[in-house]
Structure 1
Amino acid sequence: MTKMTLGSHPFLLGFEQLERLVERTAKSDTGGYPPYNIEQTSATGYRITLAVAGFGEDDLSITVEDRQLVVRGRQDECDDDRIFLHRGIAARQFQRTFVLADGVEIAGARIENGLLHVDLNREVPEPVVRTIEISKGRT
């Protein structure tokens, strides 16, 4: 028995990349650090909020790579002769990725009270109706 993939269904022409997208999305969830929220802020707007306590603006980077929003955090180890009796505040580096649909663009980002907010907007394309001419004979 042959395995039927999503892209091989006769009614889903051109959706081969959807299966790759689902696989890539499943691989991108690499644990729970840092925790995050995703909220819908308007009919076409979204906000991703990451808890980044202890990270400053210079410790964070936000990029879009191959339709993926990538948020990275890295703190420099500062050896200022501090002696910790207990170190419970995470200071580890992280990378969190979010796959973006076509038409979703980054509107901006800001950090406040230990939370990094990344705002996104989805552009709604205008509907296009096109008439295809039917020719006679062979092509």
Structure 2
Amino acid sequence: MRTYDFAPLYRSTVGFDRLFSMLDQAARVEPSTQWPPYDIEKVADDAYRITMAVAGFSQDELELTQHDTTLLVTGQKKDKDGAREYLHRGIAARAFRQSFSLADHVKVTGASLENGLLAVDLRREVPEALKPRRIPIGGTRTAIGQDNAPAQPEARLVEDRVKAA
């Protein structure tokens, strides 16, 4: 098993402790925690989807919980097979607990179960106060807009008229 020493990176970075602990945790993943199989896809710029293969589980046997930046998906079969006698049991019906570390401001927007696939939709919603904004250099003018795009021509005309008056 490979181990990585992140100590040199700690000396030149600030505030990335969570990232390094997540990398350490990912390196120690056991094969038994990789069940059920899942896909993570990027649907749009700020939209993602986790699709998990949960064949044999019904909606009431699955539970999704988001706490801060952790999404926890658990599955627990209800005991309905007490009277059945299996000659071969190939469909996994074991309980599972799968957790996903989410980036800041990523929220679960919905979930659906269809054809044995659990689809969890996620969206990154950065608050306006945390989005990039343009900072003017010198002077007392306020920042224009939330991005680095130049001010609109109409806004400049109004500003110029106000300064002239």
TM-score w.r.t. structure 1 length?
A: 0.79
Q: Percent identity?
A: 44
TM-fit CA distance, 1:16: 2.6
The answer to whether the 8 Å contact 2:109/2:123 transfers is yes
1:116/1:55 CA distance change after superposition, 3 Å: same
**Mapping of residues 49-60 of structure 1, within 5 Å:** 49-60=51-62
Partner of 1:137: none
Partner of 1:127: 132
Q: Which amino acid aligns with 1:7?
A: Y
Partner of 1:134: none
Give ranges in structure 2 of 5+ residues lacking alignment: 1-5, 137-165
Q: Which amino acid aligns with 2:16?
A: F
Distance 1:106 1:83 in 2: 40
**Which deviates the most, 86-95 or 27-36?**
27-36
TM-fit CA distance, 1:7: 2.7
Tell me, what secondary structure is at the counterpart of 1:110?
Answer: strand
TM-score w.r.t. structure 2 length?
A: 0.67
Pick 1 or 2: higher relative contact order, CA cutoff 8 A, min separation 6.
1
Partner of 1:70: 72
Rg comparison, structure with higher value: 2
Q: Which has the higher strand share?
A: 1
TM-fit CA distance, 1:84: 1.1
Number of positions where the alignment pairs a residue of Structure 1 with one of Structure 2: 127
Cα-to-partner distance string for 1:24-48 (whole Å, 9 max, x where unaligned): 3444665331111111111111000
RMSD (Å) for aligned C-alpha atoms: 2.3
